[in-house]
Structure 1
Amino acid sequence: MPIRTSRSVGVLAEIALSVVVLAAVTGCASRSAPADSDTDRLTGRAQLVAAAWDGSAAAAAWRAGYYPRGEAVQLPKGGPHSEADKLAFKERKFVLRGELPVDEPRNGQVVWTGGGSLARPLEGAVRSYERLADTHVDGRPHLTVTGAKPGRMMVITSRGSATVPAWLFSLDGYTTPLKRAAVLPSELPTSPIKAARDIPGHPLDRLVKITDHGRSVTVVALHGVCDDEAEVDVLETHGSVVLSAAVKGHGSGSTCTKQASLQQVKVELERPVGNRVLLDARTGRPVPYKGLDGISPP
């Protein structure tokens, strides 16, 4: 199977999402781009990852499982009523002022829009609320949960959109519920290739978004504060999309703090992702979906 490498990748976000302190002040050398040898190693690694996954038992398990690629939490229809509520949703500030069902459900059906279903274990309302809520309010804007009942919601997955069991949490002041998926994702299959520790750069932090048409994905990549910006190369095959994160170049300067910034990078694809496995070249594993704030717009 031919393997094509695309390097037409653009950076969307110039603004770092967060800064991670790694070490003390150090010198920063100036260079304009990654060395050719580094690029060749990344390309070769991506080819190895694609070859290992395509047609493997791990890929078959991935396509048979339930792996969300969209938010597991959805706001009430119409969204937050105020800026204070918007902040409370973003920071997951909730207070429970009601009773939650204590019965522990066992299994529920994930039903894909394109056909097929899968039975998966469910978590109870109490556990689902604990995962949803940061109850350390400390005087900050918060929302009041008055109860919960079972229901269903739509989630984007690696196999397309699916209707899944959910807990519908009623909120004081809202006529429609906040929904949280109750079904547990499938276990990730064991990768057919080990992580690489001898190539430059960092693993991708997360998958943030796949566009509706599937022709672009947004991931979060790590780069040093002395680097110009992060970039992500893509290698597409019939069965996988392998992403390799690198840095475009280092800025000049005698000193800088040894810190790293998380940056959103949009990756354009030749064809829609579909049910292909989205892989990190360094780890040899699927890029984890985490989103940004954990709660999607209505």
Structure 2
Amino acid sequence: MRGRLIHGFLLGCAAMALMAGCGLMPDRSGGDPAVGKPESMEPLRQQAREVLTRYDEAIQDAGGEPRFAPIGGLTGQLGDWEPRNGDNKLKVSTGSIVAAEPLPGAPAPTGTVAWQDGREREVPLLSAGAALDRLKAAGAGECPGCVPLKVTGARLATARILTMFGPATVPVWEYTVEGSKVRLTRLAVADQAVGAVNRPSWDPSKALGAHAIQSASTTRGGRELAVTFYGSAGPASEPCGADYAAEAVESAEAVVVIVTGRARGSAQVCPAIAASRTERVQLDRPLGERVVLEMQQGVPVQVTIIG
């Protein structure tokens, strides 16, 4: 499958989140009950095309080779920091880490990514030192006056992470640190197997009028794609309900689904409670190994293949 390494996870709105804060409140201005009106869709289509362009350029920069798509952070932690090591969390988050001794190389050139459905992919591995460099580079911010956290050893292990096509067991380096029983982990897969998509800065204005999809599903070889998102609990025929429409914008490497909503009737005060909704859209061709991207920050969402 084709995918990209995602630095951090786009935090979706929870089911009880304030709808206005997540761009989920449908238009209740009344009038034409249609959703996805042509004159209002073109700016959203342009935004979707920009998301696809960033993704396609990232694929090209990495040589276009097949790769898997993790969803979420690639640094993990086993155990909780002891009270005496309370500042270690800040050290890790800012990348204030050093190796106290030379770290091992990969015991073999490749490792295996294994999905729950039995699919596997061989991937090249990083050395423990190279993976630690990436762990440090993922840090942000400063740690004033911190004495760097010392890594005292590493061993190759496995961990389960979420990927675009579901949970997978992946190779990770597991690091011991000085003065603690906590172990840090970092994905051990080399850069040519997982690249990086640079997400744009968060712009709340771009969230208005479209809903961030949470997941997608399709059948093997099918052209219909179902997407889930948070919206009004009921249809527009009910008080505080809304109707939704979905439209796909596609490229050779990815699909972006635009979900828009509109309520019927006049404005009214409604509870700010979101419910999981589903819409379906027809693709120009089966999804195949393309990824599905949410359009607000351009990160992959999990896709379930049925059948």
TM-score by length of 2: 0.49
Greater strand share, 1 or 2? 1
Deviation at 1:13, TM superposition (A): 9.3
| Cα distance in structure 1, aligned partners of 2:98 and 2:20 | 34
> Is 1:152 aligned with 2:166?
no
Which blocks of at least 5 consecutive residues in structure 1 are unaligned?
Answer: 1-8, 16-31, 50-57, 189-202, 207-219, 247-265, 290-298
Deviation at 1:94, TM superposition (A): 0.7
Structure 1 counterpart of 2:154, which letter?
Answer: A
Deviation at 1:234, TM superposition (A): 5.5
Name which of 269, 278, 288 aligns with 1:270. Answer: 278
Q: Kindly tell me: are residues 95 and 44 of structure 1, through their superposed partners in 2, closer, same or farther at Cα, counting changes over 3 Å?
A: closer
For 1:171, the equivalent position in structure 2 comes to 177
Q: Kindly tell me: are residues 95 and 187 of structure 1, through their superposed partners in 2, closer, same or farther at Cα, counting changes over 3 Å?
A: closer
Q: Deviations over 1:119-171 (max 9, x none)?
A: 01111111111111259976325321111111111111011111111111111
Q: Does the Cα contact within 8 Å between 2:212 and 2:294 map onto a contact in 1? A: no
Q: Does the Cα contact within 8 Å between 1:73 and 1:181 map onto a contact in 2? A: yes
Q: Higher mean Cα deviation, 72-81 or 120-129? A: 72-81
| Cα distance in structure 1, aligned partners of 2:123 and 2:91 | 31
State percent identity of aligned pairs.
21
Q: Kindly tell me: are residues 80 and 223 of structure 1, through their superposed partners in 2, closer, same or farther at Cα, counting changes over 3 Å?
A: farther
For 2:120, the equivalent position in structure 1 comes to 117
Deviation at 1:12, TM superposition (A): 6.7
For 2:210, the equivalent position in structure 1 comes to 232
| Cα distance in structure 2, aligned partners of 1:47 and 1:132 | 31
Q: Secondary structure at the match of 2:211?
A: strand
Q: Does the Cα contact within 8 Å between 1:230 and 1:245 map onto a contact in 2? A: no
Q: Kindly tell me: are residues 80 and 117 of structure 1, through their superposed partners in 2, closer, same or farther at Cα, counting changes over 3 Å?
A: farther
For 2:199, the equivalent position in structure 1 comes to 205
For 1:256, the equivalent position in structure 2 comes to none
Correspondences of 1:77-156 after superposition (within 5 Å)? 77-79=79-81, 81=83, 82-102=85-105, 105-133=108-136, 139-140=145-146, 142-156=148-162
Structure 2 counterpart of 1:88, which letter?
Answer: K
Larger RCO (CA within 8 A; separation ≥ 6):
1
For 2:167, the equivalent position in structure 1 comes to 161
Deviation at 1:281, TM superposition (A): 5.3
For 1:41, the equivalent position in structure 2 comes to 42
| Cα distance in structure 1, aligned partners of 2:279 and 2:88 | 39
| Cα distance in structure 2, aligned partners of 1:277 and 1:141 | 41
Which blocks of at least 5 consecutive residues in structure 2 are unaligned?
Answer: 1-14, 23-28, 30-36, 51-58, 217-222, 228-255, 261-273, 281-288, 301-307
Between the two proteins, the alignment pairs up a number of residues equal to 198
TM-score by length of 1: 0.50
Q: What's the C-alpha RMSD, in Å, of the aligned pairs?
A: 4.8
